[in-house]
């Protein structure tokens, strides 16, 4: 479809059902969850293992055919990994974060689709039955932006405000305020750290106004739709749909 043909009342019903499913089925799987959690397609989010934490205003998007996964795993020494996600973080479809040590994601981080983050090798090189293999903590500092399809390997710290280009494989530390890309990812440009960064935190500085704006945008997107045309598009869609 070229656009969303559902009537506005159906959009409101879907939003309410999605929020109810999130509270009932998804939130209890986390050890702690801040306010303002929003999950698009919560049925396509897999949460496995203990010690997974979300801050305030975390937005998680999934899509058909792209499950997202947050998973902690035993470290082989009696402990499990931990995943801590800060405030105002955006996680998009196909994301996988798997931890047997520690994955720490700071505030205002944006993670594009199909990103893989892991703090372990998951098998020894010579003993392929040994799991989880070598491990080391991963840290994404505040306001990091990961491009689509990135791989973040064990022991990596990505510094504040830095951007990782699409498809990059990050095997070593990336300093703050740079753009890095490649396999392995290397610094290709410095950012001007004297400029003020506008982050996702700005979106939520007035949460009532944010919610009012989002509701109005939904209304604008659906206000001209009606049940008759919606049923028609379900049965006999055309190019205009």
Active site members:
123
Q: For helices 8-21 and 207-222, give the axis angle rounded to 10 degrees.
A: 130
Report the alpha-carbon distance of residue 88 to residue 143 in Å, rounded.
10
- How many residues would you count in the chain? 241
Give 38: exposed, middle or buried? Use CB within 10 Å, 0-12, 13-18, 19+.
middle
**Cα Dmax for the chain:** 64
**HSE-CB of 159 using CA atoms within 13 angstroms:** 14
């Amino acid at each position: 479809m070229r656009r969303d043909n559902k009537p506005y009342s159906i959009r409101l019903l879907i939003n309410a059902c999605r929020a109810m499913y999130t509270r009932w089925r998804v939130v209890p799987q986390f050890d702690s969850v801040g306010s303002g959690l929003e999950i698009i397609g919560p049925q396509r989010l897999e949460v496995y293992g203990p010690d997974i934490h979300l801050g305030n205003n975390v937005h998680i998007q999934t899509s058909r055919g792209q499950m997202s996964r947050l998973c902690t795993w035993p470290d082989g020494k009696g402990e499990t990994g931990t995943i801590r996600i800060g405030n105002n973080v955006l996680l998009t479809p196909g994301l996988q974060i798997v931890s047997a040590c520690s994955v720490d994601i700071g505030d205002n981080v944006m993670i594009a689709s199909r990103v893989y983050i892991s703090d372990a090798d998951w098998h020894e090189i010579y003993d392929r039955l040994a799991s989880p293999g070598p491990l080391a903590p991963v840290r994404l500092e505040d306001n990091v932006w990961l491009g689509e399809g990135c791989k973040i390997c064990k022991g990596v710290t990505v510094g504040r405000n830095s951007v990782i280009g699409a498809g990059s494989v990050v095997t070593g530390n990336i300093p703050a305020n740079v753009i890095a890309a490649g396999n392995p990812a290397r610094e290709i440009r410095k950012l001007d750290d004297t400029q003020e960064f506008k982050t996702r935190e700005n979106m939520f500085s007035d949460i009532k106004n944010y919610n009012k704006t989002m509701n109005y945008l939904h209304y604008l997107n659906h206000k001209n739709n009606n049940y008759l045309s919606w049923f028609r598009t379900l049965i006999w869609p055309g190019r205009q749909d």
